[in-house]
Amino acid sequence: MDEQMNKLKSETVVEEWSGTSSNKLSLTAVISPSSSPSHFTVKTHGNRFNLFSRRFLEAFVPEGFPSSVTPDYIPFQTWDLLQGLSTYIRMMLSTQALLSAIGVGEKSATVIGATFQWFLRDLTGMLGGVMFTFYQGSNLDSNAKMWRLVADLMNDLGMLMDLLSPLFPSAFVFIVCIGSLSRSFTGVASGATRAALTQHFALQNNAADISAKEGSQETVATMIGMALGMFLARITMGHATIIWFSFLSLTMFHMYANYKAVRCLNLTTLNCERGSILLRHFMEAGQVLSPKEVSVLEHVLPLWISSWGSKNSKFLDTRIRLGVRVSSLNSLEMMELLSSAGSRYEKAKYLLLEKKGIVSIVMHKDSTTGDVMRGFIHALVMANLFYNKPTSLHTDSQTWMDKHYESFLLKLQSFGWKTERLLSSSIIWRANWSCGVPEKKIN
């Protein structure tokens, strides 16, 4: 028995590997038997510095990086950290101005006065956050790029208000409340869109790990930004021109970095605009665009900023009204809708109504996410055919859907698009209808 054990020990070699992912392991040591009994030889590989640097890096990047995240993770995080750094530097300048306006350092200032002003500022921000969530909370993930950019622009406005507050003592409370209101929108929109982007980056169900590592990155950026901000605030103290030049320069860089960050994103979820771009190209060329190609074409700024945006027929989604309230229709529209329910859309869980190129979608109360997707694509087809002057929009669009809808979805999936659901504004209003004798009488 002892002889067998000694033979087994002499033939056994144990290797030690280090790493948090199977494809990123590195050999650190080899343990093999020595010539003397009951002793082993340990041969180390690499050095302590490389091991420490690797473990240090693992505190800031997701496990299994880079294969565990999408390719657009690195460029987005780079620009995002740069814009965050500029934010923290400017925050020191705006905070210094705000504290000066409240009266910090002045003998005439009272504690209770400063406390009340600060409380009123925070209260306004809290109420603003609740109001913004009430009106836009359910729509943030459908336009994550746009709201991410809008959130940071609102943050810029909030810091600008803080910097302006000392210049208008009589309107100080009003100005700081406006700034707090702007930042409250930022907090809600930024948090919600970040959650949507984290889900996009996660390729291995590692959203929690990505979120945690982003927190580490933000902490480092915050510390560096605060240190640079304090240094800048000190050397510019009392020099209003230099303060404003520094603030505005950093703000311009902040806006540029944010724009570059959202432009790096190649989202694979389908929202109204991306669906419009994909459908129009497919109907014209018979091909499906990749997420990267669509990201170049889609808007990142709100359409109302560009006055031409809502009038441009290229974006068919601007001509679609999803989840229309049936009680808002007039008598003629209701007659057409009832006629459609009994003839054209007898088996569908949606009804389409076209008027002057605008297509309204009435969803059935039992409709699923698949029905919403189908109804929206059908409406896009109808809106696109409108410019070709067809003999019958309903007939021609239904013919296209019967021939191409399933193959269109399959091609989308083959290019990495997620077709399980459509990211859109919440559908509040639905309807119920049944096809029977009344509809036949109407026809």
Give, for all 443 residues of the chain, the pLDDT tens digit.
555 555 555 567 777 766 665 556 666 667 777 666 666 676 666 666 566 666 777 788 888 787 889 999 999 999 999 998 999 898 888 877 776 666 544 444 455 655 666 677 778 878 877 887 777 766 777 888 888 888 888 889 988 988 888 888 888 888 888 988 888 888 888 888 888 899 899 988 888 999 988 888 988 988 998 899 888 888 888 888 888 999 999 999 999 999 999 999 999 999 999 999 999 999 999 999 999 999 999 888 776 565 444 444 467 888 999 999 998 888 888 888 887 776 777 778 899 998 888 999 999 999 999 999 999 999 999 999 887 766 688 888 999 999 999 999 999 999 999 999 999 888 889 998 876 544 443 33
CB neighbours of 27 closer than 8 A, spacing ≥ 6? Answer: 15, 16, 17, 45, 46
Q: Tell me the C-alpha distance between 357 and 316, whole Å.
A: 10
Q: Tell me the C-alpha distance between 397 and 279, whole Å.
A: 13
Q: Is the pTM of this model over 0.85?
A: no
Pairing of strands 14-18, 26-33: antiparallel
CB neighbours of 18 closer than 8 A, spacing ≥ 6? Answer: 25, 26, 28, 51, 54
Q: Please report, as a single letter, which amino acid is at residue 310.
A: S
Q: What domains are there in the chain, each with its CATH number? A: 2-58 (no CATH), 73-265 (1.20.1250), 271-442 (no CATH)
